[in-house]
Amino acid sequence: MKNDPLLQPFQLKHLRLKNRIMTASHEPAYAEDGMPKERYLAYHLERAKAGIALTMTAGSAAVSKDSPPIFNNLHVYKDEVVPWMKKLTDACHDQGTAVMIQLTHLGRRTGWWKGDWLPVVSPSHRREASHRAFPKKMEDWDIARIIKDYVDAAERMKEAGLDGIELMSYGHLMDQFCSPLTNTLDEPYGGSLNNRLRFNLEVLSAIRKKVGNEFIIGFRFTADEVEEGGITTDQGIEIAKIYNDSSQVDFLNIVRGRIDTDAGLTDVIPVMGMPSAPHLDFAGRIRAVTDIPIFHAAKIQDVATARHAIVSKKLDMVGMVRAHMADPHIVRKIVENREEDIRPCVGANYCLDRIYQGGEALCIHNAATGRELTMPHHISKAKLIRKAVVVGSGPAGLEAARVLGERGHQVVVFEAAAQPGGQILLTVQSKRRAEMISIIDWRIKQCNAFNVEFNFNTYAELEMVINEQPNIVIIATGGYPDTEALEKGNQWVVSTWDILSRTIKPGNNVLLYDDAGDHAALQAAEIIADSGAKLEIMTPDRSFAPEVMAMNLVPYMRSLQEKDVIFTVTFRLKSVRKYGRSLRASIGTDYSDLIKHQYYDQIVVNHGTKPMDEIYFDLKPLSSNHGEVNHEDLILGKPQNLVRNKNGKFQLFRIGDAVSARNTHAAIYDALRLCKNF
């Protein structure tokens, strides 16, 4: 392990980085009042304790008030940020981890309706598709003011003891200056490449003058916008050389692509089913033409690819952002020769999609990420060993079994199916979403290490559970598709699960009615459209697939738009009647009494699931708590102690979709926060 290329130190100017693994900057949206408080610190400290060399904090920390915090960005334009950043930096430094921060002005990549309601600014009036604000075209005094804001923010970070800063130049203001697509200014800041780069270089020089040489400054920039009229590779290389020749830049972090649309962003930061490390070779090309250390991150999910990036000399430092959200202990596990224990990032992109919906970053299958103050990444041993029965082995059941197993309890799992996975088995029917199976595989491997006993093809009955003489029973039986969505005619429709499981073949002229708005609908839609059928997707909502979210929608749209699928929003399927060989759909709307009738030969309904709860209600009267959960204790992370039946010999709990239809993260969080306390 000592010779592992990933574990070799890297000398960045005066700063010694202890290995080659870093987290590239990413705003997890954990700030409180724009400040990196305890939650923010705990998140970074977890990675630092596990041995990461460098944590690039924030992501898009706002240097100016007219860079409104669209995804709960840090307000580094305020002096009060200094003590908070100092606390975080000191804590990480104590672990030997270097700390930097990404500073930015978002330019047009934000909304005027946030923060102080100032107009957003950009070097052109052109609107960004993703954030939709029409920017003010910058004047000379905007430019002077923002350069000063950058300098002040950099000074604050130096005062807080950080090792350096990264200036963000892709998609944000700096890149809006550089790109011919977003800069319509006249000289001296518009026109030629040198003019377009002038703003960045003036910011750089002004900061350098203030902070001196002993402070690291780098650029994260797009070296190829991959769009007609945008920055080309040749120009990107020229920009890199200009930074190189300035002798003021200490590292470059390479990005390829544009992020002004959901589709563009998804090509820059690929999701599951897209190629791994797609821009690594490109970053290597930039490394070959400059003397500046090169950083890069884009779907380098696993240790082998990270190692390859270093060995092949494509990078000096490997950024693994989402990989660390899935498992913050990657470096520790490499050092301890436990790579197979690393919880894999499956590229579900729940983390990133959530922040663009105003939420905080959460990992689909690590419920402790971002909750370090209350949820453990490492499960400690219980003092009292107990016997637990878990019914069901989908994500909720397996997480319960894993956590109880790691606590040291004796765990028996009953599963009606021949294999574990629950709804994930349906998810992976789409080739593009096959990586989701790692959520199951990783847990099975962990459970095996903790001697969890699995009984497949075993439909749990009351007697069977009681015979195990358990102290704890967890019901994680999941749900079954609910097709009772209509006023009349439910017997004529099929479910998305019927299509996904290939139990029912797609018809020729299909209506897919989706009021759940989750992946199941669009996955079924892909199967139907791929079969050559005519397909209409209808939802009563204002937009379709709201639970799928922005970047996850991209691959679906690429496939469905190609096949002429019709998308109908704001119409509600009321009832269905058999009409000869056709189905007559009565379609209404929540907005008026309008009713229209349309004909299909198949109607597929996606209406969530109903809990599979028979065994729970069978066991409930026999349990000591009658299945009741003390929510206060659950939220506070305390053990469950409710007693409703003194004769009860076991505590009983239900988790995941066996309670109500939710998602994979909710199921796993249910299991972790309950079971860590037994």
Looking at the Cβ atoms of 165 and 325, the one nearer to ligand SF4 is 325
Nearest distance, CB of residue 549 and ligand SF4, angstroms? 11
Looking at the Cβ atoms of 353 and 657, the one nearer to ligand SF4 is 353
Nearest distance, CB of residue 7 and ligand SF4, angstroms? 23
623, 606 contact by CB (below 8 A): no
Buried b (16+ CB within 10 A) or exposed e, 32-49: eebbbeebbbbbbbbbbb
Long-range contacts of 124-128 (CB under 8 A, 24+ apart): 124/176, 124/182, 124/183, 124/184, 124/185, 125/184, 126/181, 126/182, 126/184, 128/260
Binding partner of 346, given ligand FMN, ligand SF4, none, CB within 5-8 angstroms per partner class: ligand SF4
Binding partner of 478, given ligand SF4, ligand FMN, none, CB within 5-8 angstroms per partner class: none
d(CA 220, CA 239) in angstroms, rounded, equals: 12
Token pair in block for residue 166: 């990264």
d(CA 259, CA 279) in angstroms, rounded, equals: 15
Binding partner of 168, given ligand SF4, ligand FMN, none, CB within 5-8 angstroms per partner class: ligand FMN
Interface with ligand SF4, residue 43, by CB under 6 A? no
Give, in order, the Cα–Cα distances in Å from 314 to each of 202, 232, 290, 293, 568.
29, 20, 12, 10, 47
Residues 329-358: x/- map of binding to ligand SF4 (CB under 6 A)? ----------------xxxxxxx-------
Looking at the Cβ atoms of 172 and 198, the one nearer to ligand FMN is 172
Nearest distance, CB of residue 366 and ligand SF4, angstroms? 6
- SS3 for 104? strand
Binding partner of 576, given ligand SF4, ligand FMN, none, CB within 5-8 angstroms per partner class: none
Nearest distance, CB of residue 67 and ligand FMN, angstroms? 12
Looking at the Cβ atoms of 239 and 528, the one nearer to ligand FMN is 239
DSSP state of 35: B
Nearest distance, CB of residue 458 and ligand FMN, angstroms? 39
Q: Whose CA is closest to 27, among 78, 62, 79, 54?
A: 62
Binding partner of 326, given ligand SF4, ligand FMN, none, CB within 5-8 angstroms per partner class: ligand SF4
505, 530 contact by CB (below 8 A): no
H or E element that contains 236: helix 233-246
Interface with ligand SF4, residue 326, by CB under 6 A? yes
Decide: residue 519, CB within 10 A, 0-12 exposed, 13-18 middle, 19+ buried.
buried
Binding partner of 208, given ligand SF4, ligand FMN, none, CB within 5-8 angstroms per partner class: none
Nearest distance, CB of residue 426 and ligand FMN, angstroms? 26
Nearest distance, CB of residue 24 and ligand FMN, angstroms? 4
Interface with ligand SF4, residue 325, by CB under 6 A? yes
Interface with ligand SF4, residue 168, by CB under 6 A? no
d(CA 403, CA 668) in angstroms, rounded, equals: 10
Decide: residue 278, CB within 10 A, 0-12 exposed, 13-18 middle, 19+ buried.
middle
Nearest distance, CB of residue 59 and ligand FMN, angstroms? 2
Binding partner of 350, given ligand SF4, ligand FMN, none, CB within 5-8 angstroms per partner class: ligand SF4
Interface with ligand SF4, residue 364, by CB under 6 A? yes
Token pair in block for residue 606: 């996606």
Binding partner of 28, given ligand SF4, ligand FMN, none, CB within 5-8 angstroms per partner class: ligand FMN
Token pair in block for residue 137: 């075209």
Binding partner of 400, given ligand FMN, ligand SF4, none, CB within 5-8 angstroms per partner class: none
Binding interface with ligand FMN (CB under 6 A): 24-28, 59-60, 102, 168, 220, 269, 297-300, 319-323, 351-352, 355, 361
User: Which chain residues interact with ligand SF4 by CB under 6 A?
Assistant: 322, 325-326, 345-351, 363-365
